[in-house]
Each structure stands twice: as C-alpha cells, then as structure tokens.
Structure 1
C-alpha cells in the first residue's frame, strides 16, 4: 500500500495547484451542494454535508461561498441539479479504477470518461466488476513528527481501526462515520494533520514494477482528475517508493 498511499499524499499537495486555478474550489462547492440536496442543509443532522463542509473549509473555500452552495442544494437559491455517478474501469497493467463524478449531463460525462480511459490505454468496465475491490474508510494523514503513541492515546477511543507507517507520514484509518470523532480527538490534543477525508481504499493491490508502467498508470489518473465533472479517482496500484519518488507530479 505504500506506493498508492504516497501517491494519495502527493495528490493532496497537488491540490494547492488545482486550488490556484479554481478547479478544486469548484469541485468542493459542487460536493457541498449535492450533499445538502440529498440530506438537508443542516450539517449537524447531515453527516455527509458536515464532512463536505469541513473539507471545503480545510481548503480555504470562503464561508459565504459554502453557504450559497448549501442554499442551492436545498432549493433556497436557483442552481443546477447534479447527478452522482460512479464509473468503473481499468488503467494499464490491469489496475482497477473507480471514478466518482457529479454531472448535469450523464451522456456527456459518460462519453468523456470512456474517451479519457481509451486514449490513455485504459477501458471502461461493467458496473460491479471493480467496486468490490475497494472499501470506504475515513483516512487522516498525520506528519511523522507526531509520535505513534501520542496518536493512539489521543484518538483510539474515537474509533481508530489502523495506524500505518507511510514513510514521512502516518495514515490513520477509521470507519467513515467515525472520521469527525477521530478528527476532533486529534484536534483536542493539539495534533496537527495534513488531511482528513473519506476515501475508497483497495482491498488488494496491483504491483507496478517499472517507471514506464508507473507513468502509464498515473497518466490515466491525471487525465481523469483534470475532468471538471470528476470529483475523486481511486485505484489499486502499488508503485514502489523508489520509482514514485523519482517521478514528477504534473499539474
């Protein structure tokens, strides 16, 4: 898992570049809007909205922008109706890929996803053929400067399931519903973290053993993530640290 998890961390850092172009903001606002539409506009009564709200605030989305998105979701303000769809596919080397999108045009987005996969050596898959290889988890990335025991003492009772050494960071894993409690427990003890979000973790991984193969896989990931309708992309590749560390992350 180290290669895949390190790529997830790099993606988080890459988000600063996306934010500069407004791309990340737009995606986060759309996620807040859909969460409000599906579960109501009160974050205290809507766990999904609470998570999306916090994610937007963590990435410096202005409060009034978030509040307008919530009002569009609840119908207080006029807005576009987005549909949530998950596409399943394969990247080169048999890597399984899940693609979460929010779209106002299913046909357009479906065509774009198929085209992006095909152009980059991948393919679309039948529904259900890939999803079983992943499970949804809450994940908090904590700097390695924090002691392992301090993390466990702070948040074990809040629902930590696993604590993994990822080289220069710790990966704290919990059930999705426990993420707010784990986050709050770490904050209460003054423990800083780089990110806290729900994600899809692979149950098995595909080893990628050459730089050429790694570039082919990551080319698909980048192409999908650059699509405006794509919210998240998950994959089950495992690229060794020595290969991944030597590769640049393209904006």
Structure 2
C-alpha cells in the first residue's frame, strides 16, 4: 500500500549499526547451523541456500559460513538449538509473532514474556495470532542496482510465478508463495537482477492501520526490543503506519 509502512519495511530502512554486526553474524550463523543440521550440510537444500545467501548479503566472512555449515552437518558438536515461535499482542491489540532459536527454552520464554509485558503487550498461547499470517517469500531488489523499468521487473517476476510487487521507495519487494520463491529468485538472477535479501516469513493477511503517533512509538519499541533479543531470528506483526506517520523516525 503506497504511502504506508509495514514492520518489515520499517525494520529494513532502519538498517543495522556497525556495533551490532556481531549480533547479526551470530543470528545468521545460528540459522545456517540449524538449516545445515536439518539437511546434513546439503548446499542444494533451499533453506540452507537462502541462509547462506543472506549471510553473504550481510558480509559475513566465508570462513564463518563454512564453519557454521560444518558445525551443523557434524550434528552433536556445540549447543543444540530448538526452534520455537512465540505469539502475543502488542499495544493496541496488534498481533505479534517471534521466531526463536534457543538452547534454553525456559530462560528464553521468561525473557520474551517479560519484554511483552514491559512494553504494553502480553504473550499469548500458541496459535492465538498465527492464524492471521501466511508464509510468503519476500525478495528485495535495490532500486539503484536495477537496470529494468518497474513494469519490466513486474513482468519478469510474474512470469516466474510471483504474486505481487511493492514499490518501497529505495527498493522493490517481490512477494511469492513458498513454492515459487526459488523459481522467481532464479529468474531474477538469470536477468542479472540483484536480490539483496531473500526471506521466507509470515506475512499478515490483513493489517491494522496505526494513526496515533504515541501508540506507533510504543509498538515499534516493542518490536525493536524483541528483535534485539539474542535468541530472536525474526519478529512479525499485522500493523502498518498510516501515510501521515510513514515518514516518522520512531
């Protein structure tokens, strides 16, 4: 929706400070370890391939990537991470989901619950908001690197099986089903179109527009605090800022 901002785009625009790179590398490394463990280090596996590409896009050194793949494929070495998803509500009743990789379920659950309650929300039961989301592939295309028009980009993506294209000022975001994400990504690569990020993540089927600046500030703070938790791999919500708030720096 032109003129509005969803959480995924707000987060992406904020970027990451250099001081946070260690934390980013850690989270990306964990995802590679888990993906590699699930497929035995098979680089043809879609999840592992995406995890490696996202790590490279964030300039994670190749030796770190290879070490994480080998650690996962080796099985029992190091910590065993458990994949969890916590669900709840933020200020104003917006839906929030948090994907977690943790080696201590009880500790992480207590810490995430505390973040929710401290920031005007509450953690709910499994499934309380999950029904509002569906998995979608999201491919980000930097506008400055694109040698095609928006119409041409749309045509290439749609012919490969994409569902939609969103113009987000500095970049385009292509949305796909989980089944067609790889085909669309390959079609873009064949046209030498740079994909800066590829993710498969939950996307709200319907959104709640936030028009009050104070409420928006509280929601964004909750989302950022959840994102900053060491065990968090992704945070998702069904809110979007109104056109009047979309350009605000929260």
Normalised by the length of structure 2, the TM-score is 0.90
Please give the per-residue CA displacement for 1:64-104, whole angstroms capped at 9, x wherever unaligned. Answer: 11111111112267211000000001000010001000000
- 1: CA distance between counterparts of 2:21 and 2:194? 26
Please give the per-residue CA displacement for 1:122-149, whole angstroms capped at 9, x wherever unaligned. Answer: 0011111110100111111234565222
Q: In the alignment, which of 183, 192, 195 is matched to residue 194 of structure 2?
A: 192
Please give the per-residue CA displacement for 1:22-67, whole angstroms capped at 9, x wherever unaligned. Answer: 11110000000011112220121x2111111111111111111111
- 2: CA distance between counterparts of 1:14 and 1:32? 24
Per the alignment, residue 138 of structure 1 pairs with 137
Contact 1:90 1:124 in 2 (8 A): yes
Please give the per-residue CA displacement for 1:187-232, whole angstroms capped at 9, x wherever unaligned. Answer: 2223234432212110111111111010010010011011000110
1:221 partnered with 2:226: no
Question: Equivalent residue of 2:163, what SS?
Answer: strand
Question: Equivalent residue of 2:229, what SS?
Answer: coil
- 1: CA distance between counterparts of 2:46 and 2:193? 23
Per the alignment, residue 105 of structure 1 pairs with 104
Per the alignment, residue 234 of structure 1 pairs with 236
Contact 1:51 1:180 in 2 (8 A): no
Per the alignment, residue 185 of structure 2 pairs with 183
Q: Structure 2: which 5+ residue stretches go unaligned?
A: none
Give the paired residue count: 246
Question: Equivalent residue of 1:243, what SS?
Answer: coil
Per the alignment, residue 121 of structure 1 pairs with 120
Question: Equivalent residue of 1:67, what SS?
Answer: helix
Q: Structure 1: which 5+ residue stretches go unaligned?
A: none
- 1: CA distance between counterparts of 2:222 and 2:198? 25
Contact 1:68 1:77 in 2 (8 A): no
